[in-house]
Each structure stands twice: as C-alpha cells, then as structure tokens.
Amino acid sequence: MHFSTNSEGFRGPERRNTRNRPVLFLGDSFSAGYGVNDGEEYPDLVRKGLADKFGADAIPVVNAAMGNIGNGYWIKSLQAEGHRLHPLLVVLQFCGNDFEDNIEDHLFDLSSKRELYELPPLLPGMGRRMQDLVESVPGLSDSYLMSMVRQALVESPGEGFDTPALPKDRLTYAILEKTVDICSREHWPVLGLLVEVSGDRLAQLMKLFERHAVSLILVPKKAERPELYYQIDGHWNTMGHAFVASLVLDRMYRDFNIVPQELSADESTLIPLNEKKWDWLKLARLRKANVSWFQSCVNGAFAEVLSLEVWLFVCYFSRSLSGLLNHGKSCDISLCNPTASCTIS
C-alpha cells in the first residue's frame, strides 16, 4: 500500500485550485483509504469524477479523514479550518465503532444537564509508550509477528459493531448534533455516510440526520456485500471504494445539484484566529506526515494508530518535543512542509 499526504497534511494530491470551494470529507480509516493505494480511496475517486464532469480542479476535494479516531475531531476541524475552506459540501463518514472511539478519545463529554463540553488534553498513555518501545527495535514494527499481534488485539473495522443502543451513546449523538449545527449555521450542506451500523443505533442516527434534513447514504455491510471488503481486514478494497464513490457522486448530483463555486473575496482572505497558533489539528497532521525516515519506511500501518493523546501533548505542552521526534531538528509550523510518503509492502 502506498499512502502519502500533501502539503496540507491530508491524503490526496495537492489542491491546486484554492479559489473554489472544495468538498470536505471527514471520517475515519474508511475515508482515509487504509488498505488501498493513493488515488484508489473513494474521496479521490470522487475528485476524479467531478473533474470529468466540470473540468480539472473546478471542484477541489479535501480529504481530512483520520484513522483510529472518533467524531470529536470533526468539531475541532470545522472550527479551526471551516471558514478558510468554506466547503461546498461536507461529507461525514460515520462508522459503528465511533461510539466507543468518542469515549476513548477524551475530547468531549456531557455535563449533568447533558450539555456537550470540551475536555482538557491528556498526557501520553500506555499505548504510545508501548509503541515507542516497539519502534526502538529495528524491523520489529513492520514484522509479521507484530501484524499478527495487532490483528489479535485490535478489532477489525466493520466487525462487531451490531450493538444495541446504550446510555453512553448520548455523547456520540451530542457530538453529531454539534457538528451538524456548525454546518447548518455556516450554510455548509451535509451528506452523511453510515458504515457498519445497525439495530437501535442505526435507528437513532437516522432520526438525528432526518431531523436536520441531512441526506444519508447507508453503505452495505460486510455481511451483505463481502466482495467490497478485504477478507481479513474490515476495510473496503478497491472495488468497495469505487462502489462508495459512485454512491457519493450520484447523491451529490441528485440532492445537491453541485456545481463549481468561487470563494468570495472576503472568504478567500479569511484566516481563523488560531491559524498561526500551535493548533491541535495542524500539529496532529504535521506529526503524522513529518515522521522520521525510519518510521516512514518500517512502521507501516501500525504508525497510523498513534495515540491521539500524543498529538494533544505535543500541541499544547512542548514545541521542543516536536524537534526531538524529528531527530533533533527544529520544527516550526510556519516553515515545515508536512509532506510525506510511506510505501508498505
């Protein structure tokens, strides 16, 4: 698998047209395209479909998906980058394991009055310390042994998510409500994409999106269309990504009548206040993209499950730590070009 990021820290080619409003994808490893090569992930297939219809770069695509993370970062992404991008459409890809990820991410919680509030950042946890230990042994991180251990310890996406609604699910519903509210307030249309969700949870999600008049796509589950998924891993294969891209394009043309739109003069020059800060999202992207040559070459897929707590720690507590993680080289967010490429055999 060849997986690379552009200068914005997102998967996909460079966004050459920044004057037109893009389609923004927010999601997890399904949207990030784990398991397929560059250009085979469905957001980039959507970009190619739009280019065929409207011309190259007429409607840019920003794939801001991040693997092994819940939906809390959607709120932070829209608050930090939304006004700069002013998306033509926001595609929210939701997976059944997001209910658990939103609790583990420790980004948001609910008050006694069930009001959503942001949590302070956590220090690095045991998962990151164990990863550092594995990476200290040359070749171990990309070995067959580590792949087998990871497969045994980490639940495969797309499996085991048929869970009845639970009281703790309220956090996820509140995060989604907040996300859709932000988009509605800013007049950013939303397209929902549900992956591996069923039962009571699916019913609740459908009610939520229907209440906000959000167009929704239900992707067939692995049990229904196994040919769209890898046999062992729960992610979509190349056929699955092509199938999902066709669903998204059809819905975009049918429900949104999407056409190229230029940013206004005010929108094209608008920069959020936190654009020049050590924003958590930018540092997360920077850390994932600007990994050392050793980690890029040998870490493989295991590098994509770096603990979110480390991102928060780096962003808020130590600029010097960023330098240490890059072999002692100083790193400034205004000077770095967060472009990296990782080839996994």
Q: How many domains does the chain have?
A: 1
CA distance 255 to 145: 47
Question: For residues 91 and 214, is the Cβ–Cβ distance under 8 A?
Answer: no
pLDDT at residue 319 in the model? 46
Model-level pTM greater than 0.95? no
pLDDT at residue 318 in the model? 44
pLDDT at residue 196 in the model? 94
pLDDT at residue 282 in the model? 46
DSSP secondary structure letters along 134-196: HHTSTTTTTSHHHHHHHHHHSPPTTSS------GGGHHHHHHHHHHHHHHHHTT--EEEEEES
Residue 135 has phi, psi (to 5 degrees) of: -70, -20
pLDDT at residue 271 in the model? 44
Question: How far is the CA of 283 from the CAs of 8, 19, 116, 287, 299, in angstroms?
Answer: 11, 25, 24, 6, 20
Output the CA angle 9-63-5, nearest 5 degrees.
30
CA distance 43 to 228: 16
Give the type of residue at 89.
Answer: L
Sign of CA dihedral 156, 145, 301, 35: negative
Q: What is the separation of C-alpha 43 from the centre of its chain, rounded to a whole number of angstroms?
A: 11
CA distance 330 to 106: 29
CA distance 297 to 278: 27
CA distance 270 to 27: 25
Give the N- to C-terminal CA distance of the chain in Å, as an integer.
6
Q: Which domain holds residue 86?
A: 2-343
**Contacts (Cβ under 8 Å, ≥6 apart) of 60:** 15, 16, 17, 18, 20, 21, 22, 23, 47
Q: Which two tokens stand for residue 35?
A: 């398991």
Q: How does pLDDT run along the chain (345 residues), one tens digit per residue?
A: 788 999 999 999 999 988 999 999 999 999 999 999 999 999 999 999 999 999 999 999 999 999 989 999 999 999 999 999 999 999 999 999 999 999 999 999 999 999 999 999 877 677 777 878 887 888 777 677 776 776 666 555 544 455 666 779 999 999 999 999 999 999 999 999 999 999 999 999 999 999 999 999 999 999 999 999 998 888 999 999 999 999 999 999 999 989 999 987 665 544 443 443 334 454 444 444 443 333 444 344 443 434 444 444 444 444 444 444 444 443 333 333 444 444 444
Q: What is the CATH number of the domain that holds 272?
A: 3.40.50.1110
Instruction: Classify the phi-psi angles of 86: left when phi > 0, otherwise alpha if psi is within -120 to 50, otherwise beta.
Output: left
pLDDT at residue 148 in the model? 72
Q: Is 28 helix (H, G, I), strand (E, B) or coil?
A: coil
**Contacts (Cβ under 8 Å, ≥6 apart) of 340:** 4, 5, 288, 289, 290, 291, 296
Q: Which two tokens stand for residue 212?
A: 């906000």
